[in-house]
Homo-oligomer: A and B are copies of this chain.
Amino acid sequence: MSAGRIEPRTLKGFRDTMPAEAAARARMLRTIAATFESFGYGPIDTPALEHAEILRGKGGTESDKQMFEFDDAGGRRVALRFDLTVPLARFVAEHQNELAFPFRRWHAGMVWRGERPQKGRFREFQQCDADLVGAVGPAADAEILAMFSAVYAALGVEGYEIRVSDRRVLNGLLESLGAAERAVPVLRALDKWDKTSPDAVKAEILASGASDAVAEGVLAFARSAGASNDETLARMDALVGANARGKEGVAGMREALRLAAAGGAPASRFRVDPTIARGLDYYTGIVFEAGLPAVEGFGSIGSGGRYDDLAGLYTNTKLPGVGCSVGLTRLLVLLEEQGKLAGTRTTAALVTHPESGDPAPAFALAAAVRRDGFAVETYPEARKHAAQMKFADRKGLRFVLTLDPSGSVHAKDLASGDVFDASPASIAAELRRRAAAG
């Protein structure tokens, strides 16, 4: 690198999105948005930067440490949002008089967290959330569950499963064990059930100061999954004993699953799983997580849950809600691992630039084929024909069209290697025929 040059590089933990991935992401976002909107959810956006005091202390101390926070030129303490939920809380508190409640919104946007970079984890990533704010009860929970499963169905994600539990049940169990104050460490320990062992979870619960009886009670609960959702719910109901909160949680889950199925959600995709806890402190009711049980170690592809008081830090108005977040970045990794992102030859065409002479007729040909619905690019300079062919091949274009001075079109199908001639009037129909044939 010569003197004075600056090395072109992205920040550690950040990355560029190349065209194939960006196009796949845009397609996925369109599908997700269309699903959310079919349920009456409208899009919003909020600023990337907020007053730091708005964001601080909302996602736990871990989030605080990971925030990109600084003083702006006007001396204000500002920070980049680390999720879309805290900005939603600020948004509904600020605009509550302009909004119709129950308020349904979806929001796709970048968030930033200064995590230690590791494989598949970045400091900038996109979240895609939908929330229903200002409603309580199983019908609201059911709507989110039905919509959440509709997203994966619309995306064509094979083998997805949504595991469901409810914070009220675990809290009720702890109350019945006389250990209500242990909820946070127990939740955090239980959240690691998939990744560690029952012994490790028990050790972590004991380390938080809980008795052996409490730890054993939680382990019995975590192992209460039965052969069917009805069986699991019955066992959970038995374990919480007479505790009203626990019973309400079991009944709420049962009703939410029933209504989601009534609304067309495929019942077989939902599995009641007592080990689902979700680490975040703000959930208070139903919690759920989508995954791919057949793909070893792939982890979560989305999650969500109910919170009682979203905006309590900003307003006296009680705004309960329930929401879901689709793991767009994880789904893109899945597509990439499955080889579904790269190497797909499009049905796009290149119109070559004449090696000499007037390029205007080639421009007119390109415009005509483009009007017929094809993506068409013209080579922008007079280069050797072979160089233009090489470009088309490298970019993965399907067809190369060269206008002959006589007025006919010499075409090459780069997928099959076929060469053929056509008139400018018939070329689009011929391309369409070949594209349809695969």
**Which residues of A pack against B, CB within 8 Å?**
2, 5-12, 14-20, 22-23, 25-26, 30, 33, 37-40, 42-51, 53-54, 68, 70-74, 76, 78, 80, 90-91, 93-95, 98, 100-102, 104-105, 110, 112, 114, 124, 132, 135-137, 139-140, 142-143, 146, 258-260, 262-264, 311, 313-316, 348, 350, 353, 359-361, 363-364, 366-368, 370-371, 374-381, 391, 394-395, 397
Q: Name A140's contact: one of B2, B5, B381 (CB within 8 Å).
A: B381
Contact of A44 among B16, B100, B350, B361 (CB under 8 A): B16
Cβ-defined partner of A11 (8 Å) among B47, B98, B100: B47
CA distance A209 to B56 in the complex (A): 53
Extra 20 A-B pairs, beta carbons < 8 Å, given A20-B42, A30-B30: A5-B314, A6-B313, A9-B51, A10-B46, A12-B76, A16-B47, A17-B44, A18-B95, A25-B45, A38-B370, A38-B375, A38-B376, A40-B348, A47-B124, A49-B68, A73-B114, A74-B114, A102-B391, A137-B381, A139-B380
Contact among B10, B18, B95, B263 with A363 in the assembled complex (CB-CB below 8 Å): B263
Option from B6, B42, B74 in Cβ contact (under 8 Å) with A314: B6
CA gap between A12 and B74 in the complex, in Å: 10
Q: A44-B18, A51-B9 are in contact. Are A259 and B363 (CB under 8 A)?
A: yes
Q: Which residue from chain B places its CB closest to the CB of A65 in the assembled complex?
A: B73
Q: Are B104 and A40 in contact (CB-based, < 8 A)? A: no
Chain B residues, Cβ within 8 Å of A374:
38
CA distance A37 to B397 in the complex (A): 13
CB neighbours (8 Å) of A140 from chain B are: 380-381
Contact B100 A391 (CB under 8 A): yes
**In the complex, A367→B143 CA distance in Å?**
10
Q: How far is the CA of A6 from the CA of B377 in the complex (A)?
A: 53
Judge whether B40 and A375 touch: CB under 8 Å: yes
Set of chain B residues within 8 Å of A375, measured between Cβ atoms: 37-40
Residues A5 and B44 in contact, CB atoms below 8 Å apart: no
Q: Can you name 10 A-B pairs with beta carbons within 8 Å?
A: A8-B91, A11-B47, A12-B76, A16-B45, A18-B95, A70-B71, A102-B391, A139-B381, A143-B377, A143-B380
One complex includes copies of this chain to the number of 2
> Which of chain B's residues has its CB closest to A368's CB?
B264
A360-B259 in contact (CB<8A): yes
Beta-carbon contact of B49 and A264 below 8 Å: no
Q: Once bound together, how far apart are the Cα atoms of A104 and B132, in whole Å? A: 40
Q: Which of these, B19, B50, B70, contacts A105 with CB under 8 Å?
A: B19
Q: Is the CB of A262 within 8 A of B16?
A: no
Residues on the B chain within 8 Å of A39, using CB: 370, 375-377
CB atoms of A51 and B363 under 8 A apart: no
Taking the closest CB of chain B, its distance from the CB of A105, in whole angstroms, is: 7
Chain B proximity of A77: nearest CB distance (Å): 10
Kindly report which residue of chain B lies nearest to residue A51, judged by CB atoms: B11
CB neighbours (8 Å) of A394 from chain B are 100
Contact of A48 with B48 at beta-carbon distance under 8 Å, contacts A5-B314, A40-B376, A71-B70 already known: yes
Q: Which residue of B lies closest to A89 (CB)?
A: B8
Question: B50 near A11 (CB under 8 angstroms)?
Answer: yes
Known: A8-B314, A39-B376, A42-B22. A367 touches B48 (CB 8 A): no
Nearest chain-B residue to A56 (Cβ)?
B6
Which of B19, B43, B47, B262 touches A10 (beta carbons < 8 Å)?
A: B47
Pairwise interchain contact B263-A46, C-beta atoms closer than 8 A: no
Tell me whether A262 and B363 are in contact (CB under 8 A).
yes
| Interchain CA distance A370-B35 in the complex, whole Å | 10
- Given the known interface contacts A95-B18, A363-B263, A395-B100, the answer about A378 and B47 at a Cβ–Cβ threshold of 8 Å is no
Inter-chain contact A78/B370, CB cutoff 8 Å? no
Cβ B50 vs Cβ A22 within 8 A: no
Chain B residues, Cβ within 8 Å of A33: 26
A360 neighbours in B (Cβ, 8 Å): 258-259, 262
In the complex, A314 Cα to B17 Cα: how many Å? 19
Q: How many angstroms from the CA of A34 to the CA of B91 in the assembled complex? A: 31
Q: Give the Cβ gap from A216 to chain B, nearest Cβ, in Å.
A: 38
